[in-house]
Structures are given as structure tokens and as C-alpha cells.
A and B are shown apart, each in its own frame.
Chain A
């Protein structure tokens, strides 16, 4: 494995913090105004897809590098970027579920926003990456190959 590609693990957690706020807003909006919640979900989906395709150019990553990283101590250890990337794919699939499902039943927008919020919150504040943890379970039960 190439150590050079490894990332500061606090970067994805910082991004998850922002995702926490956006997804909570999407959830609150979904109870009042599904059109607004729908557009926030589209933004989230774009942000997730961006992370999956090109994490280095992602706005959250640039914000982290520009404003946060210079103010904190250098990282104790670097992390493999694949686990957070996989988690972003899980986030993307939830956002897509809300977007596609939301066209049929608006309640799916709330469910999707709630799941994204839970996953992002646990990642940002408790360091628990749900997507990474579930990876094995998901594969063992045959949802992905």
C-alpha cells in the first residue's frame, strides 16, 4: 500500500460535521416543505458523489486544509482513504434512496435524511464510521458483492 496517499483522519470527520448540520436541516425541512428538503438532499448527493470521485478537490476537504489543519497539531497517524470513501458511497446511496423514493413517497425523504444525519453525527462526534462497520455485515448478507 502506498503510504503517500494516506490522509489526515480528522479531515473526513470535519466533513462529517458539516454533513451533520446539512442533513439535520434536510430532516427538519422534510417535515415542513418536501420540495426544500428534496433540494437539500440533491446537494448532499452531489457532495457525497464528489467525495467518492475526487475527495482531494472536495470543498470540505479544501476548507479543512485551508482553515482547520493549520490550527491543529499535525496528525499522530495517517489513515487509509478507502474506509471513509466507502462510507461516502453508503451516504450517496441513502441520498439517492431519498431522492428517487421521495418522488413516490415524501416520507422516504425524511427517512433518508435521518439516516444520513445519524451516520454523519456518529462519525463526527463519536468516531464511529457506520458504513465501515457495516461493510462486512452487508457483504455477508449478500447485498453487495
Chain B
């Protein structure tokens, strides 16, 4: 075994470990403590061309996306389906490609990032990346979305 082969195999191993770690932690999300509420007037999100002025009656899913985000369209479709199924849920998408103020404010470093908001707009849960199956649904059930 020569050194070149060993170092190259080492690099390969690092890559496999990095990938496995990513797969494990990705899309799990965590509870948000604190009382921060999303301010819809500052968010300036729109839905089908109309500005969003109210939260969903039981819960709101707020997804941050950018033009360059590869996984966002798929996540967006999945969440839009949830909204379609539950009348008490509102789903909004904020494109932050040119809204670095928002990214900095909410400390977003990756897209998609999904927030679960309660009826007052308080952030209850946040999740970076593609949500693992059932994670968002569980959080919505806690908020009484049927």
C-alpha cells in the first residue's frame, strides 16, 4: 500500500461519512423556544399575486426559498398538497434570493427552511432542508390541524 492510495481512500471515507451524517440529520428540524412572531407586513409575502395579511386559522407553514434552490420545488409541492388537504392550514412561500435582510433576521443559511407558525404567527418549529416524511404533519397535529 502506498501513501497516495491511503490518502485517497481517506478522502473517500471522509466523503462517505459526511454524506451519511448529512442524511441522518437532514430534514429533522427542532422546536423553537421564545416568543418571536413573524411580522407579515415586514415579510411582504404574496400568495397567487395577493399579499398575505392573515395567518392560517390553526397553523401556517412558511417556507423560505431561493431561485437557486434545487430541492425547493419538490418541497413546495408537498407542502401545497398538505394545505390543500387541510382547510385550517395556510402555506406561504417567501423567496429570499433578493431579501438578504430576511435571511439575516431569521438566521437562514440554507433553503428550503420551513417554519411552523401557530395562529398568532409565533414560530413553533423550524426545519432546514427537505423535511423527512411525517415530521411536518406531526407538528401540525400538535397545533390542531385536522
Interface residues of A (CB under 8 A from B): 9, 24, 27-28, 31-32, 77, 79-80, 82-84, 86, 114, 117-118, 121-122, 125-126, 128-129, 132-133, 135-137, 139-140
- By the criterion CB–CB under 8 Å, are B96 and A136 in contact? yes
Tell me the smallest distance from the CB of B75 to a CB of chain A, in Å. 11
- By the criterion CB–CB under 8 Å, are B70 and A137 in contact? no
Of A27, A86, A126, A132, the residue contacting B23 (CB under 8 A) is A126
Tell me the smallest distance from the CB of A7 to a CB of chain B, in Å. 11
3 closest A-B pairs by beta carbon, nearest first, are A83-B70, A126-B19, A31-B4
B104 to A, closest residue via Cβ: A140
Q: Which of B6-14, B28-36, B114-122 contacts A (4 or more CB under 8 A)?
A: B6-14
Tell me the smallest distance from the CB of A120 to a CB of chain B, in Å. 9
User: What's the Cα separation between A105 and B140 when bound, in Å?
Assistant: 54
B110 to A, closest residue via Cβ: A133
Number of chain B interface residues as a range: 20 to 34
Interface CB pairs A-B, < 8 A, 13: A24-B8, A84-B70, A118-B18, A121-B12, A121-B19, A122-B18, A122-B19, A128-B19, A129-B71, A135-B66, A135-B111, A136-B103, A140-B103
User: What's the Cα separation between A117 and B104 when bound, in Å?
Assistant: 30
Interface residues of B (CB under 8 A from A): 3-5, 7-8, 11-12, 14-15, 18-19, 22-23, 26, 66-71, 73-74, 77, 96, 100, 103-104, 108-111
User: What's the Cα separation between A21 and B74 when bound, in Å?
Assistant: 29
User: What's the Cα separation between A9 and B73 when bound, in Å?
Assistant: 12
Instruction: Add 4 more A-B contacts to A126-B23, A128-B22, A136-B66 (CB < 8 A).
Output: A83-B68, A133-B111, A136-B96, A139-B103
User: What's the Cα separation between A28 and B4 when bound, in Å?
Assistant: 6
User: What's the Cα separation between A27 and B100 when bound, in Å?
Assistant: 36
Question: Cβ of B68: which chain A residues have Cβ within 8 Å of it?
Answer: 82-83, 86, 132, 135
